[in-house]
Copies of this chain bind each other. A is one copy, B any other.
Amino acid sequence: MPRRTLPFDPIVEARKNWENAGWSDAAAGMALVTSVMRAHQILLARVDASLGPFNLSFARYEVLMLLSFSRTGRLPLGKIGQRLQVHPASVTNVIDRLERDGLVRRLPHPSDQRTTLAAITPSGRKAAKLATEAVNRDVFEQTELGEKPLQQLFEGLANLRHSAGDFT
């Protein structure tokens, strides 16, 4: 992406336009939604840049970490989709790729032949460890916000997720 710094905040500008158009009730919501979109774009670019050398996208990394933290190192594909809020078709796609790269393998469920398990391999655990070191260092520890603002942000977003029905 070509990087360009503007001499003003484009979202503040948009909010003014909303106010002037008589949409004051929606202006703050518009600004928030647009901010989340842009923040997502910024953070995803950082994470992908950090994980790229390991041939991992954020989605594949999340699956790998979920498996590595799971009790037995294996989970049904459906469970993975629920936990990470990804579409079943995307789970299939992600597991395909992880399996192709040898980081995960598919196993039949012992008692239910409809479900298949994804199991992390030793090579998958190794990749998860190295990738985490990279992304911790490059992104997660590089938050330029102080501890308190960061916590506030997290809580605000948690409220949003909660009221969207992600968890009880």
Contact = CB atoms under 8 A, between A and B. Distances in A.
A23 to B, nearest CB: 6
Interface string A135-168: 0110111111101011111101111111111111
A113 interface: no
Interface in A1-35: 1-12, 14, 17, 23, 25-35
Contacts of A156: 145, 149-150, 152-153, 156
Contacts of A167: 5-10
Contact of A47 (B28, B33, B58, B85): B33
Contacts of A37: 40, 43-44, 58
B157 A85 contact: no
Interface of A is mostly: helix
A22 B164 CA distance: 31
Interface string A54-68: 000010001001000
Given A11-B158, A25-B141, 8 more contacts: A2-B87, A9-B161, A17-B65, A28-B147, A29-B143, A35-B157, A145-B160, A153-B156
- The 9 lowest CB-CB distance pairs between A and B, nearest first, are A29-B140, A40-B40, A26-B140, A26-B136, A153-B156, A35-B157, A144-B163, A6-B167, A29-B143
